[in-house]
Amino acid sequence: MRRKKKNEEKIEEEEKKEEKRHEKEKKEKEKVKQLEEQQEKKKKGDRELKERNTKADKEEEKEIEEKRRGGGREGEGGHYAKC
């Protein structure tokens, strides 16, 4: 009887250990998933920021070119304004 009971207790302990291990693995996978999502969001944000900066740079270059050619508001002279 005692052996049977001890064996049952050992089996229960092993099952509990196995359950804890599975829970730990599950938590680790969840952490990895969250980190990957954060990195993806950061990459996406960096990409969007880069696109916005590129767009702003192009607009700025366009404005500079217009001023240089004499375009723009009245009173602003460009390089070729007096020609």
pLDDT tens profile 30-65? 999 999 999 999 999 999 999 999 988 999 999 888
Q: Where are the domains of the chain?
A: 1-52
**Cα of 1 vs its chain's centroid, Å:** 60
Q: Are 78 and 72 in contact (CB under 8 A)?
A: yes
**Cα of 32 vs its chain's centroid, Å:** 14
Burial of 67 (0-12, 13-18, 19+ CB in 10 A): middle
This model's pTM is above 0.95: no
Q: What value does the CA radius of gyration of the chain take, rounded to a whole number of Å? A: 34
